[in-house]
Amino acid sequence: MTAQQPGVQADDDLVYRRICTLLEPLNQKGVKLHRDIDLVADLEVDSVSVLDIVMDIEDYYDISIPVNTISETKTIGQLVDAIHAIKGQQS
Amino acid sequence: MSLFDKFEKTAALYNQLSEMGKNPFTVVMEEVLGPTRAMIKGRETVLAGTHNYLGQTFEPKAIAAAKEALDNEGTGTTGSRFANGTFAGHKRLERDIADFLGMKHCVVFSTGYVANLGAIAGLIDPSEDAVLVDADCHACIYDACSLSGAETIRFRHNDPDSLDKRLSRLDPKFKGKLVCIEGMYSMYGDTAPVKEFVEVAHRHGAMLLVDEAHSFGVYGKTGKGVAEAEGVMDKIDFYTGTFSKALAAIGGFVASNHPQAEYLRFSSRPYKFTASPSPATIASAGAALKNIKETPAIREALWANAERLHAALTQFGLRLASGPAPVISVLLPTKEEAFAAWNFLLDQGVYVNMAIPPGTPGKDSLLRLAVSSAHTGDDIDQLVAAYGAMAEAFQAARVTA
Ligand SMILES: Cc1ncc(COP(=O)(O)O)c(C=O)c1O
């Protein structure tokens, strides 16, 4: 729907912010979040919780993110990029 | 060394618990006393954390059949179903399961885990098919998806609308679509709205697989499972099950009305590359199946025990995951409390399962009581007394906490 190229930066930022908001309640050690944070190693978020967060993202943006894609991402930044790529394809 | 590094943190915790002698994951049944009792740490304990729903572990007819098979056919098949591991007994059991379920075809696998791997990975071509899986499905269904290599989409637990949305969004390039759900879910004891899932799946041209591992023999008017209770036995495409719970043996199966289900015998690697269940195993599973089919009173006893335990635990104010079911789970807010409560019950002579995230559906930890038709009045009294004491000792386990 929206023109893709100019939207990328701002949109990317929104996806990032949404993920951080969803991660906050799971961030028990109070780690400062940024794109290079590893979900499992740094945040100690378990794999099922990551899938649950992704489910919220899917419903918010009305997209489907395959489990295969999620298991290939380790950091917040990789997750943001993957979601962004799928948003581009499916909208 | 580096192969092991990633385990060190978990290993430290595991070893610490084991050294304290309080690790729920290293329990040994030192001596088995019967279908609902064993010696644990030198103490006679009521077993309420098994899957012996229909109490068939010591069924005399099943034991006699297994002994006969052992004498007549030997200890093992020494081969896979595909090669030298199919005996007359395997074929007979496939027929008996199909007849029991009222389905046309049945393929027996080595375990329930292997049956799901075999069905899903055996049906799916990653280059043209997609799988949609309930969020709370068992690990073996997710492992099956990995093995298949196909695009796997997770939908919200027991939510047909969530599935509907994901099927609508699915890329039209996918030719085949398989939806996977379970009958009764083993952690919370909740059941799937199978009828609604059938409608949604078929409306989108997808096939539906229902894993009734925990509900086979237990749900439905004649024990066929949740699909029977929902009146849609004839509409589900694939039914998977296990011998390791209601039938108290080891093995698994896929049943279907589609004649092409027989193709699994060559398309499914988990059918071809692991040994088939031993003759004694097949014989005891067959005898247990016959017994539960002919004796509805066994299922009735299970449900009577489940109702009684559920009512008692409700009265203690415990926070329960679902209504009366053969699995009754008490929810606890933290791992530490679950761990302490589990140990408390064991000290009272009661063994249940403890499950903690990520092995549980939500953020809660839980103590899982699995009911058996074989639980005696004494067993139930002991369970009720132990849970009553636990409710006193653990505020966190109660609704009002
Ligand atoms: C839903 C479900 N499917 C399959 C299995 C695997 O069954 P089996 O023990 O026969 O491998 C289990 C049990 O652990 C289960 O809970």
B290 in contact with A at a CB cutoff of 8 Å? Answer: no
Q: How far apart are CA B344 and CA A84, in angstroms?
A: 49
Which one of B154, B157, B161, B168 would you mutate to disrupt binding with A, by most A Cβ within 10 Å of its Cβ? B154
Interface residues on A facing B, Cβ-Cβ cutoff 8 A? 46-49, 51-52, 55, 58-59, 62-68, 90
What was the pLDDT predicted at A79? 92
Q: Is the dihedral of CA B15, B16, B22, B25 positive or negative?
A: negative
Point out the residue among A49, A62, A66 whose CB comes nearest to the CB of B153: A66
Backbone φ and ψ of B168, nearest 5°: -65, -35
Backbone φ and ψ of B110, nearest 5°: -75, -30
Inspect the interface and report whether the beta carbons of B166 and A48 lie closer than 8 Å.
no
B154 in contact with A at a CB cutoff of 8 Å? Answer: yes
What was the pLDDT predicted at B362? 78
Q: How far apart are CA A16 and CA A79, in angstroms?
A: 9
Ligand 1 residue neighbourhood (C-beta within 6 Å): B 111-113, 116, 138, 140, 182, 186, 211, 213-214, 242, 244, 252
Question: Hey, which of B242, B253, B329 would you mutate to test ligand 1's pocket, going by the most ligand atoms within 8 Å of its Cβ?
Answer: B242
Where in chain A are the domains? Answer: 8-90
The answer to whether residues A88 and A43 touch, using CB atoms and an 8 Å cutoff, is no
The answer to whether residues B158 and B308 touch, using CB atoms and an 8 Å cutoff, is no
- Give the CA angle between residues B206, B210, B214 to the nearest 5°: 170
Taking the CA of residue A64 and the nearest CA in chain B, the distance in Å comes to 6
In order of start, what are the domains of chain B with their CATH numbers?
5-57+296-397 (3.90.1150.10), 59-294 (3.40.640.10)
- CA B300 from chain centre, in angstroms, equals 20
What was the pLDDT predicted at B237? 98
Residue B4 burial (CB < 10 Å; 0-12/13-18/19+)?
exposed
pLDDT of A2 > 50? The answer is no
ipTM field: 0.83
| CATH assignment of A8-90, among 1.10.287.310, 1.10.1200.10, 1.20.1440.230, 3.40.50.920 | 1.10.1200.10
> At A91, is the pLDDT very low, low, confident or very high (cuts 50, 70, 90)?
low
What is the full per-residue pLDDT of chain B (401 aa) written as tens digits? 689 998 888 888 888 877 776 788 889 999 999 999 999 999 999 999 999 999 999 999 999 999 999 999 999 999 999 999 999 999 999 999 999 999 999 999 999 999 999 999 999 999 999 999 999 999 999 999 999 999 999 999 999 999 999 999 999 999 999 999 999 999 999 999 999 999 999 999 999 999 999 999 999 999 999 999 999 999 999 999 999 999 999 999 999 999 999 999 999 999 999 999 999 999 999 999 999 999 999 999 999 999 999 999 999 999 999 999 999 999 999 988 999 999 999 999 999 999 988 888 878 899 999 999 999 999 999 999 999 999 999 999 999 65
What was the pLDDT predicted at B292? 98
For A3-22, the pLDDT digits (tens) are 333 334 445 588 899 999 99
> At A1, is the pLDDT very low, low, confident or very high (cuts 50, 70, 90)?
very low
For A21-78, the pLDDT digits (tens) are 999 888 888 888 889 999 888 888 888 888 999 999 999 999 999 999 998 899 999 9
Distance B172 CA to ligand 1 centre (A): 32
CA distance between the termini of chain A: 7
For B145-203, the pLDDT digits (tens) are 999 999 999 999 999 999 999 999 999 999 999 999 999 999 999 999 999 999 999 99
Can you name the residues that pair with B80 across neighbouring β-strands? B275
